[in-house]
Amino acid sequence: MGTGLRVLTIVRRDWEYKIQPSQLYAELAASSISSVAFTLLYLIGAFLITGKFEQLSRVDDFTRVAITFSILGLAPAFLPERATSELNERLKTILEKK
């Protein structure tokens, strides 16, 4: 969802933007891996603090977890583009010096 929103905001600014499938697949794979990691981190952290697996026993727990993970998923949606452009610039300066 975050990747889709980021692409939509880019297309809104630049109508000639071409979506590259390899970049889309890489972002989808990275987001899937990070979502599973965050879920495991949440469950393990709650178990270490309380000593039991009762995090999702009430309806309110599901709502809280859904909102939390939605924010965690949408917040970094715009970071990969900035990070890759910054990395490209740094690599160019390093390679030009050699």
| Chain segment 22-45, per-residue pLDDT in tens | 877 877 777 778 777 877 887 788
Report residue 33 as tokens: 């891996």
Are 9 and 79 in contact, with CB atoms under 8 Å apart? no
- Alpha helices (H) along the chain: 2-13, 21-50, 59-74, 79-97
Contact 73, 39 (CB under 8 A): no
Residues in the chain: 98
Domain boundaries, the chain: 2-97
Contact 63, 71 (CB under 8 A): no
pLDDT tens digit string along 1-29?
Answer: 667 777 777 777 777 878 778 877 877 77
pTM: 0.51
